[in-house]
């Protein structure tokens, strides 16, 4: 093999690899375009569903710690019930949720002094997920009815938070008001987005 043929083979190989990379780039762009077309705005709804659920859990934890608020945080339980992503809801509705509910009831019955107050609402959420009839857990949860309930809860909590803060401006300027306001706005954005799209 001489040097001239080696250089021409190397140039051919280099151009073939370049062509292959160009084709892979085109294929990746087509995949992204087709994925967005197929999922459409459903992907945005799915992301907002996760964000809203995390925001509701954040607000629930925040209220159970040292940042007490005047919000009716027990309303976050039905909100989480109706807005939790299907993956998480399925886990709590299945065997894992049944075991958590079983242990929680046993602890409450036989060791009531050891049952912590801050665990009441999370345990209530698991109990509701386990025992809810299919009409509520399946039909209402996956329809506009569940979204309307979430929207009502979110609007009520936002209105109460703004009132407790002393106005809209104070809701964004107080030390703990900003995080609460952003969390509650996330609770309102998800059902609005899902109802529209």
Reported as a single tens digit per residue, the pLDDT across 74-107 is 899 999 999 999 899 999 999 999 999 899 888 8
Question: What are phi and psi for residue 174, nearest 5 degrees?
Answer: -70, 155
pLDDT of residue 148: 94
Per-residue pLDDT at 46 exceeds 50: yes
106 vs 114: CA distance, rounded Å: 11
pLDDT at 72 over 70: yes
**Please, which residues have CB within 8 angstroms of residue 184's CB and are 6 or more apart in sequence?**
55, 59, 154, 157, 158, 161
Residue 170: both structure tokens together = 């104070």
CA–CA distance, 150 with 127 (Å, rounded to integer)? 19
- Radius of gyration of the chain from its Cα atoms, rounded to whole angstroms: 26
Q: Which pair of tokens denotes residue 80?
A: 């989480």
Rounded to whole angstroms, the Cα distance separating 131 from 102 reads 12
Best mean pLDDT range from 100-109, 146-155, 178-187? 146-155
């Amino acid at each position: 093999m001489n040097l001239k043929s080696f250089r021409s083979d190397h140039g051919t190989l280099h151009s073939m690899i370049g062509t292959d990379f160009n084709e892979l780039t085109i294929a990746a762009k087509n995949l992204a375009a087709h994925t967005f077309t197929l999922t459409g705005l459903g992907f945005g709804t799915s992301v907002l569903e996760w964000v809203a659920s995390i925001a509701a859990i954040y607000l629930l934890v925040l209220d159970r710690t040292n940042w007490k608020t005047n919000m009716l945080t027990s309303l976050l339980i039905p909100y989480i019930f109706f807005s939790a992503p299907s993956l998480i809801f399925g886990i709590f509705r299945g065997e894992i949720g049944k075991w958590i509910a079983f242990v929680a009831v046993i602890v409450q019955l036989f060791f009531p002094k050891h049952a912590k107050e801050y665990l009441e609402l999370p345990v209530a959420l698991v109990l509701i997920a386990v025992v809810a009839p299919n009409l509520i857990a399946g039909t209402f949860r996956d329809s506009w009815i569940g979204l309307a309930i979430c929207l009502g809860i979110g609007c009520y909590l936002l209105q109460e938070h703004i009132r407790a803060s002393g106005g809209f401006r104070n809701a964004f300027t107080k030390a703990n008001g900003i995080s609460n306001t952003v969390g509650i706005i996330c609770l309102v954005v998800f059902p609005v987005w899902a109802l529209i799209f």
